[in-house]
Amino acid sequence: MTDSPHPDAGPLSVPAGRRPAIAGLGMTELGKVYGPTSAQFAATAVRRAVADAGLALADVDGLLTSSGVTGGVSVDLQRELGLTDLRLLTHMQAYGSTAGSMVQYASMAVQSGMASVVACVFADSPLRPERRSSAIYGTRHAGAGWWGLLGASGVIGANPMYALAARRHMLRYGTTSEQLGHIAVAQRAWAALNPAAQLREPITLADHQESRWIAEPFHLLDCCLVSNGGIAVIVTTAERAAQLAQPPVHVLGWAQAHPGHHLRRDPDFGLTSGAAQAGPAALAMARLGIGDVDVAQLYDCYTFTVLLTLEDYGFCAKGEGGPFAASGVLGPAGKLLLNTGGGQLSGYYMWGMTPLSEAVIQARGQGGGRQAETHDVILVSGNGGVLDHHSTLVLGSAGAAS
């Protein structure tokens, strides 16, 4: 584990007016939405985020873009939006950890004065009416070289790799499929309260266990959705955000971790992730502890990713994620408010923008029937690759930032 940041390194040491805040959130229609390209989804999301903040496109002087498996989103989005005289422009890619990383870089930009209003956007459009969603991610790495060897052995895509990681955890700690199922059931219960969720029909643990196998130990209900759409956020200074249309969501702390163990012999594969470094570091920057967290929005490409992140962030001890999930602590009636929009398992799959967007909604107090009563501190995770990349954000309402 890396050392904690210097106590003066975080945004709380910066003059209050220059501390970073999220001032706008833009979301397109999400899910089985056919027609628009990824670039069109991205442009719509940025325009909606700018309008949500009460700004004009001309106010934007920074643009960070990211795209999913279909690509199509790049720095060329500047032209699509008609943005001129940008002071910050780049395309970023660290898979599911990218959204959190974009907010981190945007925060440093506005904090330093490099830019004043930065739009961060992700969009993807992998769904097609004529093909199954399983075909989208399952074959994208099959080909020559090392990936070809994996393909020849049947290890194609993320499903079997994450299944190996989960199996490792099961063998070491006794984690069970039923324990993973409790995560799926709890998040579906949250999704039932979210009008934007793709899957809102309640499920039981029996439903989870009876859903078809994808790659043992994963059932269908252990695996995330596939969605079309785009989401953008606007990052600016706290001083400016306080004058805009929405309640500011303050960026209190952040960190990244990139273990670099992908496809290598690694004694920790499946047992720990970059969350073990990034989580404590981000909380230290915010000068908070895990006990201060009111709401957690954790990246959930699989139920197992949630379980591992819960352990690595310190919500429970290492190896106790399974019993913790099965204890009744999750779901709308539980004491840990986790993935309150249904996450990527039942809500919508926009990579790291899924947990980030729900965190913004909760921090603003705009969650409707799923709104957390206490939402001053929200922990947000992003995970990329097969536990290869991790980003953490600590977000806060006005009360947490004071």
Please report which confidence band the pLDDT of residue 372 belongs to, taking 50, 70 and 90 as the band edges: very high
Residue 395 dihedral angles phi and psi, to the nearest 5°:
-110, 155
Residue 370 pLDDT exceeds 50: yes
Name which of 38, 44, 1 is nearest 26 in CA terms.
44
Verify whether residue 162 is a known catalytic residue: no
Secondary element (H or E) of residue 282: helix 275-285
Residue 6 pLDDT exceeds 80: no
- pLDDT at residue number 102: 98
Give the mean model confidence (pLDDT) for residues 133-152.
Answer: 60
- pLDDT at residue number 55: 98
Annotated catalytic residue: which of 95, 299, 302, 348? 299
- pLDDT at residue number 109: 98
Single-letter amino acid, residue 378: I
Helix residue spans in 54-114 (DSSP H): 77-81, 98-112
CA dihedral 142, 146, 149, 155 (to 10 degrees): -60
Annotated catalytic residue: which of 137, 302, 313, 349? 349
Residue 2 pLDDT exceeds 50: no
- pLDDT at residue number 390: 98
Taking the alpha carbons at both ends of the chain, their separation in whole angstroms is 30
- pLDDT at residue number 1: 34
What percent of the chain has a predicted confidence (pLDDT) above 90?
A: 85
Verify whether residue 348 is a known catalytic residue: no
- pLDDT at residue number 267: 80
Residue 112 pLDDT exceeds 90: yes
Peptide bond into 259 cis (omega under 30): no
Dist. CA 227–CA 357, nearest whole Å: 15
Q: Do residues 353 and 98 make contact, with C-beta atoms less than 8 angstroms apart? A: no
Residue 3 pLDDT exceeds 50: no
How confident is the model over 161-191, as pLDDT tens digits? 999 999 999 999 999 999 999 999 999 999 9
Question: Is the pTM above the cut of 0.85?
Answer: yes
Give the mean model confidence (pLDDT) for residues 285-299.
Answer: 98
Please report which confidence band the pLDDT of residue 383 belongs to, taking 50, 70 and 90 as the band edges: very high
Residue 349 pLDDT exceeds 50: yes
Residue 201 pLDDT exceeds 90: yes
Dist. CA 138–CA 133, nearest whole Å: 9
Residue 38 pLDDT exceeds 60: yes
How confident is the model over 306-325, as pLDDT tens digits? 999 999 999 999 999 999 99
